[in-house]
Amino acid sequence: MRPQPGLTSVAPPDAVASLRQELAHRDKLAQLVSRIHAAKNLDTLFIELKQDMLDLLDAERMTFYAVDRERREIYSRFIDIDTVKEIRVPINPTSVAGYV
């Protein structure tokens, strides 16, 4: 079906606003990912990027999980007040978190 001459298709204002919001979110995410890759360690991520990550994901708290291959452990980092703390769990069948 061909459009009639003189008629144009215009997106509703709500759709345009929604697309702009989505593009802004994706741009913030891309910038954050670049900053994550540039971070020297997990503590840097917490200290320098914490609030940006929480805002982007509309979250109140965050925890990072990583694998320490040398020690065969999964560890997580979290912030308690203004201090980065760590929990370690062995990777083996006796540890539910480490086994999964």
Tens-place pLDDT, residues 37-79: 898 887 777 778 889 989 998 998 877 788 899 999 999 877 7
Which residue bears the tokens 């203004």?
Answer: 82
Q: Which backbone phi and psi does 5 adopt, to 5 degrees? A: -60, 140
Would you say 66 and 42 are in contact if contact means Cβ atoms under 8 Å apart? yes
Alpha-carbon span 16 to 96, nearest angstrom = 47
- Of 7-16, 47-56, 62-71, 81-90, least confident by mean pLDDT is 7-16
Alpha-carbon span 53 to 35, nearest angstrom = 11
> Is this prediction's pTM over 0.85?
no
Alpha-carbon span 100 to 43, nearest angstrom = 25
Among 77, 15, 26, residue whose Cα is nearest residue 47 = 77
